[in-house]
Amino acid sequence: MGQIRTRTETNTLYFDFQYKKMRCREQTMLPNTPINHKKLSVVMTKIEAEIASGKFDYARYFPNSPMLNRLQEINTVVVQPIVSADIPVIPTTPYFKDFAAQWFDELRPTWRSSTAKGYQAYIDNRLNPYFGEIMVGCIGKADILKFRSMIAKSANGKLKPKTINKFLKLFKMIIDEAAIRYDFNTPYRGIKPLKEDKVHIEPFTVEEVNKIISHVRADWRAYLIVRFFTGMRTGEIDGLKWKYVDFDKRQILVRETHSYGQWEYTKNDGSQREIEMNQLVYDALMAHKQAQGGLYECVFVTRDGQPISNSNFLHRVWTPLLAYLGIPYRRPYETRHTSATLWLGAGENPTWIAKQMGHSNTEMLFTVYTRYVPNLTRQDGSAMERLIAASIQITPPTSGIALSPDRVATEVHHWDQLLTSDEVAQHG
């Protein structure tokens, strides 16, 4: 009698039955669940009934089975597979964990190290625990939606939609590639990302900037001055070398970054730029260089001359300093946003600001930063008010025109004369 058994090493189900005096074991990619076991048991019953009646077509149930060759050798006619909605087709595709590892290794050279580290963490901690033991060809749309719902609930609302969308975006890249290579329809069709909350930046005020720079340890003062007044990203300033500081042209050349202990190309080509140094930044860097005495390649280093650790700065300098000053905590990245709002508040050209920030255009300035400008300049529309008062002259009417009932009746009669009787009745 045929049975549905479980493969120990993969926890997947397989058929075990006798046909033509041969033991047949046909693997499936279905995980061992009560629903799947019941489904395959029904198929097993149907197979045995067809074997007993002499109507069993092996190829119809298992079109990719190696057993077909053995059956041909004993002169068994093999009929071409017939697609049937109630007969499960057993494709042979790799398990998700195996394909994800292959996909990652193939594309790893194209990513920055920080990107690769993030992807690896997503695969190991989020995707593999759920999809790892399922063959890629067996993953359905319902599985994806269930996964998304599960991680949202398990986090008790702590994971933002943007974070969940990152997990699913990575999964989509993997499963879409698997679908192309193994010729099946991607299950991700029709799944829309979760609606993400609008990102709100929290730049520091001028008063807060003054307090931070005035109270930070002397060995970190130049570092914060450069962060607050150049708009450089964390990896850009941590990887800044003296050869990229041009005091003659008063420019900082952004050419590479340093993060997770590795030197890399900038975020993108647009990030390769020249930042104009204002007098405050120029003086701070000049004094900092003299203090270093030309001993180091990097502008900002640890005591042993290595590029600074952002984690060390965050936990030993930044967080304690804000707490000491009573300033609400913000990420160090907000120093970049602060630069943009200070430049806008000072009336700098938006195109110039975008170039300083490494943006390809001014869209970011007008969608993210502009709302902070009134608080810095105290304009709040007053410039337009002055323009109207100085240039726009509108003469008000001296008197109104009142229409008497007779005048109104005359007007109605005039227009009625231009219409047929039917049109008058239609328009009332």
Contact, 126 vs 152, CB < 8 A?
no
Q: Give the pairing type, strands 245-246 and 22-31.
A: unpaired
What pLDDT was estimated at residue 399?
Answer: 46
Greater model confidence, 75 or 303 = 303
| Segment (H or E) for 325 | helix 319-325
Comparing 376 with 116, which gets the higher pLDDT? 116
* pLDDT of 367 strictly over 70: yes
pLDDT over 60 (residue 150): yes
Mean pLDDT, the chain, whole residue set = 82
374 pLDDT band, cuts 50/70/90, is low
Whether the pTM exceeds 0.75: the reply is: no
pLDDT at position 421: 52
Q: Which residue has the higher pLDDT, 47 or 365?
A: 47
Kindly report, residue by residue over 302-354, the tens digit of the pLDDT. 888 888 888 889 999 999 999 999 999 999 999 999 999 888 888 888 889 99
Query: Is 80 exceeded by the pLDDT of residue 359?
Result: yes
Report yes or no: 96 and 134 within 8 Å, Cβ to Cβ: yes
Out of 143-152, 224-233, 255-264, 399-408, which region has the weakest mean confidence (pLDDT)?
399-408
pLDDT at 288: 93
Please name the residue that has the structure tokens 């002169």: 75
Q: Per residue in 387-419, pLDDT tens?
A: 556 655 555 554 444 445 555 455 445 445 545
Q: Residue by residue, what is the 3-state secondary structure of 38-93?
A: HHHHHHHHHHHHHHHHCCCCHHHHCCCCCHHHHHHHCCCCCCCCCCCCCCCCCCCC
Residue-wise pLDDT tens digits, 96-107 = 999 999 999 999
Could you say which DSSP state residue 116 is in? H
> What span, in angstroms and rounded, lies between the C-alpha atoms of 134 and 31?
7
pLDDT tens, 269-312?
A: 778 899 999 999 999 999 999 998 888 999 999 888 888 888 88
d(CA 332, CA 334): 5
Per-residue pLDDT at 20: 83
- Sheet containing strand 273-276, edge to edge, reads 245-246, 251-254, 273-276
Secondary structure letter of residue 162 according to DSSP:
H
> So what's the pLDDT on residue 262?
77
Residue 82 pLDDT exceeds 60: no
pLDDT reported for residue 398: 47
Mean pLDDT for 217-239 is 92
- In degrees and rounded to multiples of 5, residue 252 shows phi and psi of -110, 125
If one compares 378 and 359, the residue with the highest pLDDT of the two is: 359
Q: Domains in the chain, please, with CATH?
A: 3-73 (no CATH), 96-182 (1.10.150.130), 206-376 (1.10.443.10)
**CA-to-CA distance for 231 and 160, rounded, in angstroms?**
26
Lowest model confidence (mean pLDDT) among 185-199, 239-253, 404-418: 404-418
